[in-house]
Structure 1
Amino acid sequence: MKMKTEKSVQKQWDLVRFVLGICTRPISTNPVLNKCGLGTLLLSLGIVGWSLPAQASPQLLYEFLEVNGNLSTCLNRAETAVKRSGLVRQNTRQNSINAQGRDITATVYCRRINPRLSEAVLMVAGTKGVSAANFNSVFNSIVTDIGESRVSTPPQSSTTVISDAAFKQLMNGLDSNWAKPLDFLAQAVPHNYFTAAQATEIIKQIRFSSNKIPAAVLLYPQVVDRGNWFVVEQAFTFDRDRQELRRQIADLSNK
Structure 2
Amino acid sequence: MSNLKAITNAARVVNKRPFKVSIEGNIGSGKSTCIKFFDKYPNVEKHAEPISEWRNVSGHNLLSLLYSDMKEWTFAFQHYVHLSRLKIQTSPPCNQNITVKMFERSIQNSKHCFVENAKKQGFLKDPEYQVLLQWYDYTEKNLDTSLDLIVYLKTTPQTVWERMIKRGRTEESEVPLEYLEQVHESYENWLSSPDVGCEVLTIDADRSLDCVLEDLERYSYKILGGNHTN
- Greater per-residue helix proportion: 2
**Higher relative contact order, structure no. (Cα contacts within 8 Å, ≥ 6 residues apart):** 2
TM-score, structure 2 as length reference? 0.30
Q: Per residue, is there more strand in 1 or in 2?
A: 1
